[in-house]
Structure 1
Amino acid sequence: MTLLELCPSLRAAARPRFDYDVWPATLRCDEDGRPVVGGCGLTDLADQFGTPCDVVDESEVRAHAKAYRAALPRGEIAYSSRALLTPAIAGWLAEEGLSLDICSADELETAVRGGFPASRIIAGGAVKTREELAAALAAGVGRISVDTFEELAWLASRVDRPQQILLRVGLSDELEQAFGFPLSGGAEEAWLRAARHQHLRVVGLHCHVGSGSHEQALAALTGFQDRMRAAHGLVASQINLGGGVSVEKARALAETSASLPLPALVARPNLVVEPGQGVVGQAGVRLVRVMAKNTGSGSEPSVHVDGPLPVVGADVREVRLINRHSLAADVPTRLLSRPRSEHHAPADSAFVPLPQDLRAGDLLALPGVGAYAHTRAAGALVAVRDGLATRM
């Protein structure tokens, strides 16, 4: 029995345990002070599903999907499936009215199993194989993003019914060398070739901005579309700016798009963005158990846990002890995952503040791991909502 259990009034004096900006909005503590997400106690989930374990809050995913749609009411939100995709998540996003950007045949199969409408799927991904293109055609996806002349030629030789395509373009020399048609000439030639085929319909441009400016990319792509209309009478209705777009950025892009000058009687392009982290990142919590604790050469404590760390180094935003209350001071602690392979590859590590009295068997929770973090080594993937937990 802990001191806090003997003297509940001491809880008011204990330091705040959670930074609520990085946890799902459903996080609360029950009457015993145990953290609860989606109506499910995290310690109970660790007992039921074992550790390591990744927990995804369905309500949080849906709330972020709604926030993106509200930020871009006249545009389109196409969730980036690379962040995290299961049939259940595909179903949630379909019900919330999102579209879906997939980059492999496996992701396409997962989306279809989740009941996601094929008409709202974009088959993206750089330099696709013929098998991936064939799978996209067989599934009847709404749009295929084309980024090489080889892909364009293969589609032209296979499609026997109208197929919408996006032309993936690069805005810099670095991007043009990697993938995508350069706006300096390649994109125009690709558009003209597609226009000569009776079944291919170029409906828009697709661009992954990376670390550049989404606003500059939007202006450049809008200008290119206008030049193609004026020079060749070709019209496209969409501009897809890819990922890396927060809710706030989506709202700003909507305002920028509305303010761009266009010729009279020319319809404004429909803006598409592909968030991943912004939809599922904060919805995920990883549960790991302390396996051992020792003191390193620099006298700092080192703690080994039974699962992988979601990110490396200073990007670990918060780690919390959740199976008991500790009044011990937090000290800088080296957190170590298990080695990534049987050949003793280096373990992931991070320095984080953890209670000085941490010991083997303690349960730790790491928030913000919903995107780009789940692997087989992370154990079970569990959806929670309204007190119900389901393995995904």
Structure 2
Amino acid sequence: MYFHGTSRINDKGHLEIGGVDALDLAAKFGTPLYVVDEALVRQRAREYVEAFKATGLKFQVAYASKAFCVMAMCRVAEEEGMSLDVVSDGELYTALQAGFPAERIHFHGNNKTPDEIEMALNAGIGCFVVDNFTELALLNAIAAERGQKVNILLRVTPGVEAHTHDYISTGQQDSKFGFDIGNGTALRAVEEALRQPQLNLLGVHSHIGSQIFEVEGFRMAVEKVAAFSLEVRAKLDKTFTVINLGGGFGIRYVEGDAPLPVATYVEAITGAIIASFTAADYPLPEIWVEPGRSIVGDAGTTLYTVGTSKDIPGVRKYIAVDGGMTDNPRPALYESKYEAVLANRPEDEATELVSVAGKCCESGDMLIWDLKLPAVQSGDVLAVFCTGAYNYAMASNYNRIRRPAVVFVKDGQADLVVARESFEDIARNDLLPERLRKETVRG
């Protein structure tokens, strides 16, 4: 049995996270429930910051808030010395409401609206990561109207395809993101950016994929970006001061996943930067990275209550829980795999193979297809591990199911950081035109 962070079996024989009994959490806050091990989140953040500090290079570690964006998480990221990567006005608003320093916020996205750009400029964010020529012109025009100078990075696609799922590969040429280095588009983007008087081009951004378990892809990306930097210097007399290598660092979801230590990723990236740029007598740039999943992924556990079951002799046994694809769409989207235990009986012998189904009216609403568990009973609490990234962030109200609450646990204390949605929340934005209102009874 593999536990992450502070998770353990306590003296009651129950799963405990952050010093709090999982059954007490389920009883107090209800299920489904997202539980976040705050100590593990902070440990992961410190691993990145300390690994970069050890290199002696200038750096920023920006938490990719798309993985899990709530005000409490933004506060933890700030306290741990991280910058913040946002991709929408909603994420930006959340960060600002949490009091995150705007100058440490980077704004990503391939289709930023004029309103989002205005909002970011009003806040005084530190940098825009520009994705296309339309945005270059739009950002310059809006900044010119306001008399502001804006720091930017250009997102480039280096033509490096990491070993990952097709839907989460972003560094190859055929991608909706960024300017392609290979066909000359990226060089034209630099030329255009240098012509825009309101834009201050710091450097480039590259992201090659997600859930990456090796370093060779990052080394190849650095080599491509370094070669492009040298080309820009030679042809346009522009020296980049920032190179952003994105994120994509993998975590362990199930047995067989083999993520590398954070320091190994950092050493590979910084080593490649030093080798590539020093050899060309190029000033070492500041290095930025954007971990998201690897900060929060294995710190999250989702608690469910088991309800019904269906045994098909010779085929499979289904058990159904009170959540599903509404709180974790990743198995349906990516065929993602998870491990789980019964939080109330984690040490009991696993005697049956079950498939864990959600409660949505959808045949694809499956959380785990094959899971060995003790004989499961209605009312058992199932704990699914490594649900900290892209679970709450992707949650929906399909079937009008309410989104779960989120609790941070640390040193025996449980703090509610997101309240469970109410029925009123579900219908809050509904409007009923007068012609559809129920008629009063006629006399």
Q: TM bucket by the smaller chain?
A: 0.7 to 0.9
Change over 3 Å in CA distance of 1:353–1:153 after alignment to 2:
closer
Show structure 2 runs of 5+ residues with no match.
160-170, 211-215, 251-261, 397-401, 418-443
Which range is displaced more, 190-199 or 113-122? Answer: 190-199
Residues 218 and 268, structure 2, Cα contact 8 Å, conserved in 1: no
Aligned residue in 1 for 2:129: 145
Structure 2: which amino acid aligns with 1:206?
H
Show CA shifts across 1:8-63 (max 9, x none): xxxxxxxxxx312xx2x212333222222112111100001100000011111110
Residues 289 and 361, structure 1, Cα contact 8 Å, conserved in 2: yes
Give the paired residue count: 369
SS in structure 2 of the partner of residue 272 of structure 1: strand
C-alpha deviation, 1:350, in angstroms: 2.2
Show CA shifts across 1:97-156 (max 9, x none): 111111100000011111111111110012222222222212111000111111111111
Aligned residue in 2 for 1:208: 207
The two structures have a TM-score, normalised by structure 1, of 0.88
Matched, 1:337 2:321: no
SS in structure 2 of the partner of residue 178 of structure 1: coil
SS in structure 1 of the partner of residue 173 of structure 2: helix
* Separation (CA, whole Å) in 2 of partners of 1:349 and 1:88: 27
Matched, 1:36 2:52: no
Aligned residue in 1 for 2:189: 190
Equivalent residue runs for 1:243-258 within 5 Å? 243-246=247-250, 247=262, 248-258=264-274
Aligned residue in 2 for 1:179: 177
2:38 to 58, 70, 73: 58
Equivalent residue runs for 1:159-308 within 5 Å? 159=143, 160-172=147-159, 175=173, 178-183=176-181, 184-210=183-209, 213-246=217-250, 247=262, 248-262=264-278, 266-308=282-324
* Separation (CA, whole Å) in 2 of partners of 1:224 and 1:105: 31
Change over 3 Å in CA distance of 1:174–1:70 after alignment to 2:
closer
* Separation (CA, whole Å) in 2 of partners of 1:266 and 1:137: 32
Aligned residue in 1 for 2:254: none
Matched, 1:72 2:33: no
* Separation (CA, whole Å) in 1 of partners of 2:209 and 2:364: 29
SS in structure 2 of the partner of residue 291 of structure 1: strand
Structure 1: which amino acid aligns with 2:309?
K
1:318 to 339, 362, 370: 339
Residues 245 and 273, structure 1, Cα contact 8 Å, conserved in 2: no
* Separation (CA, whole Å) in 1 of partners of 2:378 and 2:223: 56
C-alpha deviation, 1:328, in angstroms: 4.6
Change over 3 Å in CA distance of 1:303–1:176 after alignment to 2:
closer
Change over 3 Å in CA distance of 1:263–1:327 after alignment to 2:
closer
Show CA shifts across 1:164-219 (max 9, x none): 00111122395366231222322222222222333311001012212782211111
The two structures have a TM-score, normalised by structure 2, of 0.78
Fraction of identical pairs, as percent: 34
Change over 3 Å in CA distance of 1:349–1:29 after alignment to 2:
closer
Which range is displaced more, 355-364 or 297-306? Answer: 297-306
Which range is displaced more, 260-269 or 199-208? Answer: 260-269
1:114 to 92, 98, 101: 98
* Separation (CA, whole Å) in 1 of partners of 2:38 and 2:266: 22
Once superposed, what is the RMSD of the aligned Cα atoms? 2.2
Structure 2: which amino acid aligns with 1:179?
F
Show structure 1 runs of 5+ residues with no match.
1-17
Residues 324 and 367, structure 2, Cα contact 8 Å, conserved in 1: no
Change over 3 Å in CA distance of 1:354–1:265 after alignment to 2:
closer
Aligned residue in 2 for 1:82: 66
Aligned residue in 2 for 1:4: none
Residues 13 and 344, structure 2, Cα contact 8 Å, conserved in 1: no
Residues 208 and 242, structure 1, Cα contact 8 Å, conserved in 2: yes
* Separation (CA, whole Å) in 1 of partners of 2:346 and 2:132: 57
Aligned residue in 1 for 2:424: none
Change over 3 Å in CA distance of 1:373–1:35 after alignment to 2:
same
Aligned residue in 2 for 1:390: 415
Residues 332 and 351, structure 1, Cα contact 8 Å, conserved in 2: no
Show CA shifts across 1:261-302 (max 9, x none): 436763112222111110000110000011012202535321
